[in-house]
Amino acid sequence: MNQYRLPSDSKMLDSDFVFGVATSSYQIEGAVTEGGRTPSIWDTFCKVEGKVDNGDNGDIACDHYHLWEQDIEMIHSLGVDAYRLSIAWPRIFPKEDCVNPEGLAFYDKLIDKCHELGMKVYVTLYHWDLPQYLEDRGGWLNRETAYKFANYADVVSDYFGDKIDVYTTLNEPFVSAFLGYRWGYHAPGVEGDAEGFLAAHHLMLGHGLAMPILRQNAPQSKHGIVFNASPAYPNTDQDQSAANYSEAENYQWFIDPVLKGEYPSLVWEHQVSNRPMVLQGDLDIISAPVDYIGINYYSRNVVSYDENGDIKTVKQEGADHTHIGWEIYPQGLTDLLVRLKARYSNFPPLYITENGAAGDDHCVDGEVLDEQRVNYFQEHLNAVDTAMRAGVQVNGYFAWSLMDNFEWAFGYAQRFGMVHVDYQTQKRTLKQSAIAYRNMLVTRSEEKKNG
């Protein structure tokens, strides 16, 4: 397959539908001690033995800090409309209340280059790299961090204003809160149910505090938040309540306070001893209006109750799985989007801000034949099209990821990129999935010109 194909009447082929690629700062930049940057919680976490596969870290990663210009040119060569990136908080505030002009300048030239090449810029303010000095005072367990985040958002948006086309406050607060502060799989490695729910509330409070600031500083830009979400399915007819609770805890807990001004009762009543301290007015702050919501989708969850009455995920034997072990289930993306539309009557315009697959990819004679990923993207683009035909408003689709990178606790063992990275030489090679994406967008562009 040399290009992805959508029905000729698909709304995804309209000129105002945004196609893009996505990355995040710690996963690609490297240069962790350059340009005034100080350590993040991930720099610290990577030094803890056994926390990251192979003892990997983001010290060099894809060396994007030095190779950014050629990377932006490569993104442009794919024919995309937009580039989704994140800003590293420790580059902007390397010390408490100390703004680093060199950090702002790095992103300024990068953004200018994108605009020069005709691409819009979608910027995430927090993609998990919290400054270590804030973690030393409790991190997201400390309510003060929400206010520090709002101040960081103020500095960035005051500097860039409307130059950033679309602002995202947080990427996947579920992962930050639960993998980082509940289960300890991610930085900073804290374990405890109460801690996870408290961190979640403070993350969402930080989002809400930032929203009016962003609107004031960048009134022409769009502002929103990105959630990861996996639809849940019962393993047997007796497991429907497990599926309902799984969805409530895994994504409704984060989306409900934004769109409904409340936490889902299913979780609130179940987690009595782990409820976070919610002060009067907090939910009013969190439910500030958003211009859009981003959804990151990779797979589904099939769940059941175990012998202790706890909810467990049931692996689907015989199903197709990616290299990381996640089931390939494109119907789940359609189901998720339809469920979101049904649950939230006020659901704003939506972007698929991440979607992709990890592969056991190898560059042979200058080619990377990632057939599974090619099929994955084709099937999931079709799934988005199906959801749109069912009445869901989707305004864009961003492939994850632009290139192979530091995949958090998996280190460099998992490759999600459309572009292969040789970490020894930093050579970039377009995989077949990238070539198919580019060809689809070139065809769309030519059809636009021809009316």
> What residues are labeled active site?
172, 354
User: Is residue 400 part of an annotated ligand binding site?
Assistant: yes
Indicate the pairing of strand 232-234 with strand 394-400.
unpaired
Q: What is the largest CA-CA distance in the chain?
A: 63
Indicate the pairing of strand 419-422 with strand 427-430.
antiparallel
> Residue 393: exposed, middle, or buried by beta-carbon count in 10 A (0-12, 13-18, 19+)?
middle
H-type alpha helices, 307-365: 331-343
User: Is residue 127 part of an annotated ligand binding site?
Assistant: yes
What distance lies between CA 63 and its chain's CA centroid? 20
User: Is residue 298 part of an annotated ligand binding site?
Assistant: yes
User: Is residue 253 part of an annotated ligand binding site?
Assistant: no
User: Is residue 432 part of an annotated ligand binding site?
Assistant: no
Interacting residues of 368 by C-beta distance below 8 A, sequence separation 6+: 361, 362, 420, 429, 430, 431, 432
What's the one-letter identity of residue 253? W
Interacting residues of 428 by C-beta distance below 8 A, sequence separation 6+: 70, 71, 74, 403, 419, 420, 421
User: Is residue 68 part of an annotated ligand binding site?
Assistant: no
Strand partners, 428: 421
The DSSP call for residue 324 is: T
User: Is residue 379 part of an annotated ligand binding site?
Assistant: no
What's the one-letter identity of residue 389? R
- The enclosing H or E element of 226 equals strand 222-228
- Binding site membership: which residues? 27, 127, 171, 298, 400, 407-408
- Binding site membership for substrate: which residues? 27, 127, 171, 298, 400, 407-408
